[in-house]
């Protein structure tokens, strides 16, 4: 796994996203890259904004490809407030923007654009694992 720890993470969303998106594990296909980048940006921004009181903390971000280069894995790990974003209800996208509650759309987009998302809390860390098929 190619990974890096960012500390502190305050105002580093674009730097963290750029690190992940320049990984050699990321596919060159524009459509796949778009889905991956949107998902990465939403997930990283959630950690940067909400994981740590006062915004000071670390985030470890990494990518890997399975042995067959078919599945990309992106892992985000932080020691912030325990939070499972997958427990958030999906927003009602049938409502107008004015009628919808604020929030939740980013995680919803991640769920739609990635093939699999897992969350676990282990050893005092939030771990979000997003997977995307990159070759058929």
Is 13 a residue whose pLDDT tops 90? yes
pLDDT single digits (tens) 115-125? 999 999 999 99
In the chain, the number of structural domains is 1
Q: Which of 131, 127, 129, 128 is nearest to 115 (CA)?
A: 131
Residue 64 has pLDDT above 70, yes or no: yes
pLDDT in tens, 16-63: 999 999 999 999 999 999 999 999 999 999 999 889 987 789 999 999
Strand intervals (E) in the chain:
2-6, 59-65, 71-78, 116-122, 125-133
* Predicted confidence (pLDDT) at residue 102 exceeds the cutoff of 60: no
CATH code for the domain in which residue 29 is found: 3.30.565.10
Q: What is the DSSP letter of 101?
A: P
- Residue 111 contacts by C-beta under 8 Å, 6 or more apart in sequence? 86, 90, 117
Give the span between the Cα atoms of 103 and 108, in whole angstroms. 10
Cα separation, 11 vs 134, whole angstroms: 30
95 — pLDDT class (breaks 50, 70, 90): low
Average pLDDT over residues 128-135: 94
Strands 59-65 and 125-133: unpaired
The whole domain housing 98 covers 2-133
Question: What's the confidence (pLDDT) of residue 80?
Answer: 96
């Amino acid at each position: 796994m190619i990974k890096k720890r960012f500390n502190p993470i305050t105002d580093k969303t674009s730097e963290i996203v750029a690190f992940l998106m320049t990984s050699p594990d990321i596919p060159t296909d524009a459509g796949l890259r778009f889905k991956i980048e949107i998902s990465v940006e939403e997930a990283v921004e959630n950690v940067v904004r909400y994981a740590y009181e006062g915004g000071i903390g670390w985030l470890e971000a990494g990518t890997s490809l399975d042995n067959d280069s078919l599945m990309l894995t992106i892992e985000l790990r932080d020691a912030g407030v325990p939070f499972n974003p997958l427990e958030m209800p999906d927003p009602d996208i049938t409502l107008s923007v004015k009628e919808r509650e604020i929030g939740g759309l980013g995680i919803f987009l991640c769920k739609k654009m990635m093939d699999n998302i897992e969350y676990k809390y282990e050893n005092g860390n939030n771990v979000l694992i997003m997977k995307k098929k990159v070759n058929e």
